[in-house]
Structures are given as structure tokens and as C-alpha cells.
Structure 1
Amino acid sequence: MFKLNSFLITAIILIPLTAAGWDDTDWNNGYNRGNAAGTAFGKKVDEPEEINTRFIQPLTSSGTLMQSLDGSVSFDGQLSAPSSDAFLEIMVAPAGTGDLTTVLLRQDTNFDGTPDYAYNVPVRISGVCANGFISADAGSWNNLHYYTWKTNPAGEVTIAEQTSILELTACYCINASCGS
């Protein structure tokens, strides 16, 4: 299917260009120009420090301007804004079994510097995952229940209804049943 789609896309592009009078010289010129541009780009960013200076700093800081490769044009390319105010606070209290029995999330949903939403996770957390958690009997890995995190339309964090282990990623056990 992919080869057929690639063939059709190529045909759709090539037929009009051929009809417009493109010949091998045009293709070679295009290839040579693309190759030259790629080589010039590679020479400008061949060191990690160059990548940091030319891309990372301008995209994350207002103190460094983004520049064209030849240095003739400079502009503010910052994609992120620094914040000194927390927008999510998480307070956890583990039990003697290693399970997290109190997990309180506080969010600043409108980014005014003051938390305006709080959520207390209603179940014990025995294992943590990249996108949720596992709840089990205290201090054990028995009677497992799986949950994912979700947000409502206002951006407030809650948990989804119970789900399958197949919906969770990168999980590991944190309670006493797992060892120290």
C-alpha cells in the first residue's frame, strides 16, 4: 500500500512538471542546490555548541536572537516563556507499606500564580506509570487496578475510570512488595 501511494504521489508531482517542460538540467540544478544547502547547513551546526547557540538558546530564551544561516537576518524566535510560579503542586504521603495513601494535586489553571483547583486522588497508589498508576492491596501486588490520568475541558487533572494494563506505559512498583 505504501509503495502504491508513493508511486501515485510521485506521478502526481512528475506529470505536471514534465508537461511544464522540466528536463534533466532542471532536476540536476535542483539536486545541486539542495545538496549545497544541506552541506552549508551541516557546516554551520556540526558541533553541539553550535546547535545550542543557533537553535536551543534562541528558542528558549529572550536573550538570544535566532539568526539566518548567513547571519544577515535576526529575530526573536523564543517558543517558551519562563515562569517562576508553580502551575502544578503535588503533595504525597506514603504509608508504612510504601503505597502512596495521600496524593493531593493543586493546579493554577489560569496561570495567575494562585492554585485554583485541588484534587485528592481517591485510591491508593502502589505503582507509578508515565501516564497513570496502579493501585493494589496495601503493601502487596495483589488485587491490581489500573488508572490513567486525564484532564477535563478546563484542564483540571483527575483520574480516568479503571482501565487495562495495556493503556499504561513505563510502570514500576513502589510499595513494600517490590523490595527496597
Structure 2
Amino acid sequence: MTDLSISVPENVTFEQGIEITELLLNTLEENSLLEAEITRVITELVKTHNGARGFFVTYLTDARSCFDQPIVSLIQALETSPEIVSDLLVKNVAMSATMVIYHHRHNNLEMQESSQRVVQRSSNLIQQLNFSLLRSRLQQLFNSVQTGAGSYQDFLERWKYDSEQLAAIVKILERLL
């Protein structure tokens, strides 16, 4: 392993977050990064909303199975930004669960499998991260789905989820809570 320096701009854009994460994942696959470097890059990405969005959209959707189980340095890095990480992971697990339904309805098996991968990877991260804010956000989303009110109601209404999609959100949240 070598210490390849991947730099993350202080005000990283969403697009830069994607590019940096693609580079990071490629070097991870080659096993050519030190654990400390992996942690540093991901920590720098997830300290901003744009960087975290770019990281998650790339990491969660990457087709390579070597990223299905998160490594310790990834978990350690995500733990440094509980507010941003909690918000994005809760929304990612919910949105991807609904997209599995959507793609199934439209007979798009490839996209259905991709959405299922995002559900699984998001779930794996949620299960390994141990901070109360994440659990609280999962519960808030669950409550909003169940009651039609609460802190996630605007999110649910914006995406116009139907009853089958809401049931998919409940199902995944029940496994995670």
C-alpha cells in the first residue's frame, strides 16, 4: 500500500464529491491506500453536505461487490459527521426502498437491482453506525410514515410516495429500528 494523497477542497461541490469518491473507490479496489488516508478523505467529504451527497451517491450505487460490506475506516470517517450522515442515510434508505418498487413496476430489472443494492448498503452502514441521532432520525421517519405528520412529512409529500412505497419504507425501517 502507498500513501496516495487525494485532496478534498474545503468547499467541495457535489460534482467534486462524486469525482473524488470515484477515485477513492478505484484506489480502494486496487488496495493501494493506507487506512488513515481512506479515513481522512471520507472524513473531509462528509463534513459538508455536498461532499457527503457526492460520496453517498457514488459509494451506494457502485456496482462492484467489493464495496457491499463497509470497512472500518469508512465507518470511522462517517462517525465524524453524525448530523449530515444521519440525514442522508435515512433519506437514502427510504428513497431506494421506494425505487425498488418503482423499477419493478416498470420492468426495469437492472435499476431495480441497483436500488436494492443501495437499500442493502445503506442498511449495512446504518447497522454499523452507533449514534443516537441516526436512530432518532429513523424513528422520526417511521413516525411520519405511520401518522402522516412529523418532521419527515414534507420529504414524503415532496416525492409523492404511494401506499405500496410507504409500506416498503416501513418494512425497511422496522428491520433497522
Q: Shorter-chain TM-score: which interval?
A: under 0.3
Relative to its length, the structure with more helix (as a share) is 2
Question: How high is the TM-score relative to the length of structure 2?
Answer: 0.19
Question: How high is the TM-score relative to the length of structure 1?
Answer: 0.19
When Rg is computed on C-alpha atoms for both structures, the one with the higher figure is 1
